[in-house]
Structure 1
């Protein structure tokens, strides 16, 4: 079964069960500073899992692109990925454990769908911990469907509890489904969830019963929801009897392009195979980030730093395979990215729409890094003889920082080079030197607002409401060509990115600031209506360019009536009830964010 077939079957099955198909969202979540990227299919749906009504109804299904950076250093083995696709279906206060489990079982085992033999399946359920009891309800449903007791494992929180996506938000116990790939058990206790490698997880039904607050407490949700997730890459691997996600048709085209560029046949050398896998994953992730409607550019901060690290690590492993130029101006990533775009543009048309941007950014970053890489590696080679004389085989953090500070050589690559020569780097010493120079922050602000908008806290809601007022003021002062390109909110400020080709003048900044404060002083009521996207646009509402919307959307109006308003935008919310609750709006800084995009930092007092 191909990825396209699995994606289509999943959507078709759940639509037949009364689920409305919704659009997957951006890889870069708005107004949630607890994460850099969308980390799960449920991430964009957090407000609805917490109680908001979704315009499409109570039963939903979609496929969602996600990025998880926690395992970035493990990419290169047969299974780890930074970018992957998640299939998901949701119940927002409709069916719960029994309904979710029975539908999962039918999709997995019915010959009309995946047709997996029941004897190949095993499941895990939550063992219980603290005030949360053992999930006997889920276990009973599995037994009624024919899963025997010896293939039901009761596991603790670290195994069978999901969420929240950030530091706060909806969460709960889950029931996971496993496929047996072994010939015989590893021992008498070999059950689903065993670390022996004979059981591979393919699906997860999460029962959202709690909301974790900023104090770490688990508060029962008034409306119980279901969130499920099936990874396309892993499931296709299992269904086709492959031992690695990189051996499936999903990676065949991009892997073939790498093999051709390197004049190397995959499977001939374990170290070279690792480099092929790293390039495949990192280039795929980078292309999807750059092709996103809310794309960031490579930088030294936050999501842009992760993107830069992915691209540069791919470049270095290309050179290990003998591809990529030895001089500035020779590139190899963008031709391979073209192959990926051609393959994935069907389910993700934004890749084709942003093909030019993807290619341009990859080329620029590769050329820039090649110069850095050549200088840094030459300097490292000079240092190597003395480093190898150290009996402890530990490179000082100060020396590693010098490579970074003087030559722009990333610490991660210094660590990789050190490992290749049997050494380690004193990372604590590097971090100390790094902190003193106050240069780079990969995580963004240290005082982030926990949960961002996800817990609907008042300060986050105020700042989000203010982004609407700011957006309108910018369009009035600078012109209707201005469009929001992203926003980020912490406990202490808001950050707003918008399309504009030149720095704002002090007079323009003052006019925008005055317009926002005037709208606040007017204490305008804020109302919400649900309507079709066409109706929303006809009523004068602004919708973000490139955003994927459902057939029914929420429209927030800030004004006296449907026709007498200051701002009207398609948005998921939440918002304050009146503009007068926001306080004084002050723009602290206006600067460049990336080519053609400006950034405003502002506060409410």
Structure 2
């Protein structure tokens, strides 16, 4: 379903915009990129996008992406670690009204009524719109004023030193004027966070560059980068705000739910179920691509993802080795998706080996926990610190052990101690609270860092 809708949209965009269909690249980022994995559909096309070689003006394709910058939030709020992105990239300066007319017609052709859409454009600190061209184009196309809103100014710049420009969010109305969401008013606009508006698509008009004095000027090689996650696109078309109800993820999520012991209706439990589901798919994608769990770079990311899934499984009452079957199921659920390679048996065996190592770590940590808490009614921050620093036991696991044993927890002190531990790892040394810092150990002052170039990160979605 998700893949079918994505391909239908790409067919529409290619036909209406004269775009070239491009097959997906592998998820490992090209050499020299600042990320380990491809994190946006335009990323593998950098050389083509910035070159002046004569070729078709645009490309469209489906690209698997992996983003780990919000790994802790994976499974909550629509955040996904691995997802397939539909990207439409066009070179040259394009008239806004022509572009949006093609995009809205393509959306309508796959069942997404433009009358359900809303748009968020940029505004400055005084509240004035900064993308008048988009606002005028959408108004001329018949988008009502109550479907147009603005958000704080952010520029998008997919390539360092390349062109940049305003980003437009495209949202779909999942609610009804008669059925307000979360107590909001019926007439809320697309900038409302009540849950009625679902962000599924971005349009980035990269038509600016910096001159020698750091001022904005028209870009020599402008681009339009338009993209959205395939599952978020399917949710928009089908009127579902939850990607875990779509076939590919739903099959894995249902199996995870059967593994969990006890009540799975609570908010925390629901997040754990989704974390396991999300990480099983990401692990399947990386293993199929050839990444091996390890201590460095891509392997370290995969091991971290597996460990987070093992922790969530343990909290759900499931044995870590059940992840082997879940990874295999996730790979099977995405069989036939372009760019999602199968996972051979010897790679699945690596998941089993990682789960055995994690089970041994928990067993040793459990013994240390019993020794450290013997005769104590509660858990101290020092005990948590030692279990994590010396035994590698995550805080979530320690707190769950305490809950099962009926021990009290000094959570504020624990939080403060964990913050101290983080500072210790960053500077290589940290004294105990109240003790002076030797001059020789004080970290040197950091040099001034120049302001980062224009960039954009969506507060609403992973699309």
Same fold by TM (over 0.5)?
yes
Cα 1:96–1:119 shift into 2, 3 Å: closer
Q: CA deviation at 1:5?
A: 1.6
* Counterpart pick for 1:162 among 151, 156, 171: 156
What residue number does 2:200 align with? 202
> Superposition pairs for residues 491-502 of structure 1, below 5 Å?
none
The aligned residue for residue 375 of structure 1 is 364
| 8 Å CA contact 1:122, 1:192 repeated in 2 | yes
Query: Which residue number corresponds to residue 28 of structure 2?
Result: 28
Q: Tell me the residue number matched to 1:291.
A: 288
| Deviation of the 1:238 alpha carbon | 3.1
Deviates more, 1:423-432 or 1:274-283: 423-432
Q: Which moved more, 1:99-108 or 1:45-54?
A: 45-54
Structure 2 counterparts to residues 109-258 of structure 1, below 5 A:
109=108, 113-128=109-124, 134-158=130-154, 161-164=155-158, 169-184=162-177, 186-187=184-185, 190-211=188-209, 220-258=218-256
SS for the counterpart of 2:41 is coil
Q: Once structures 1 and 2 are overlaid, which stretch shifts more, 212-221 or 9-18?
A: 212-221
Residue 317 of structure 1: CA displacement?
A: 1.7
Cα 1:189–1:378 shift into 2, 3 Å: farther
1:27–1:66: 8 Å Cα contact kept in structure 2?
yes
> Retained in 2: the 8 A contact 1:287–1:358?
no
Cα pair 1:75 1:281 within 8 Å, conserved: yes
- From the superposition, tell whether residues 432 and 273 of structure 1 become closer, same or farther in structure 2 (CA, over 3 Å): closer
Give the 3 Å change call, closer, same or farther, for CA 49–408 of structure 1 in structure 2.
Answer: same
* Gaps in structure 1 of 5+ consecutive residues: 326-330, 439-445, 451-605
CA contact (8 A) 2:26 2:339 kept: no
Deviations 1:422-478 (A, max 9, x none): 72433332124324669xxxxxxx99xx9xxxxxxxxxxxxxxxxxxxxxxxxxxxx
- The residue number in structure 1 matching 2:305 is 310
Question: What displacement does 1:124 show?
Answer: 1.6
Do the aligned partners of residues 51 and 81 (structure 1) sit closer, same or farther apart at CA in structure 2, a change above 3 Å counting? Answer: same
Deviation at 1:107, TM superposition (A): 1.6
Cα distance in structure 1, aligned partners of 2:43 and 2:193? 28
Q: How many residues align?
A: 418
User: CA 1:413 to 1:289, structure 2 compared with 1: closer, same or farther past 3 Å?
Assistant: farther
Shift of residue 404, structure 1, vs aligned partner: 4.3
**1:88–1:228 CA contact under 8 A, matched in 2:** yes
SS at match of 1:332: helix
* Equivalent position SS for 1:296: coil
Superposition TM-score, scaled by structure 2 size: 0.78
Q: 1:402 to 1:28 in 2, by over 3 A?
A: farther
- C-alpha change, 1:369 and 1:173, in structure 2 (3 Å) is same
SS in structure 2 of the partner of residue 360 of structure 1 = helix
Stretch moving more, 171-180 or 253-262:
253-262
Alignment of 1:307-346 (within 5 A): 307-324=302-319, 331-346=321-336
**Native 8 Å contact 1:58 1:94 kept in 2:** no
TM-aligned CA distance change 1:198 to 1:260, over 3 Å: closer
Q: Give yes or no for contact 1:84–1:231 (8 Å, CA) kept in 2.
A: yes
Aligned residues: CA RMSD:
3.6
- Give 1:409's aligned residue: 393
**Equivalent position of 2:45 in the other structure:** 45
1:58-81: CA deviation from partner (whole Å, max 9, x where unpaired): 210001111222322222335221
Distance in 2, Cα, partners of 1:387 & 1:50: 64
Q: Give the drift of 1:278.
A: 0.9
Report the CA distance between 1:337 and its aligned residue: 1.7
Question: Which residue number corresponds to residue 441 of structure 2?
Answer: none
Deviation at 1:100, TM superposition (A): 2.5
Whether the 8 Å CA contact 1:313–1:413 is kept in 2: the answer is no
CA drift at 1:363:
1.6
Q: Is the 2:120–2:191 Cα contact (8 Å) retained in structure 1?
A: yes
- Alignment match, 1:602: none
TM-score (norm: length of structure 1): 0.61
TM-fit CA distance, 1:229: 0.8
Deviation for aligned residue 1:379: 2.8
Aligned partner of 2:56 in structure 1 is: 57
Q: Give the deviation of 1:282 after TM superposition.
A: 0.8
Q: Deviations over 1:274-331 (max 9, x none)?
A: 3221110011111112222xx4322333433322121111112222233216xxxxx2
Structure 1 segment 338-357 matched on structure 2, within 5 A:
338-348=328-338, 351-352=341-342, 354-357=343-346
Residue of structure 2 in register with 1:362 after alignment: 351
CA distance in 2, matches of 1:9, 1:345: 19
Q: Does the 8 Å contact 1:315/1:366 carry over to 2?
A: yes
Q: Quick one: distance in 2 between partners of 1:170 and 1:302? A: 29
Q: Do the aligned partners of residues 270 and 155 (structure 1) sit closer, same or farther apart at CA in structure 2, a change above 3 Å counting?
A: closer
1:277 counterpart residue number? 274
Q: Gaps spanning 5+ residues in structure 2: where?
A: 430-445, 451-463
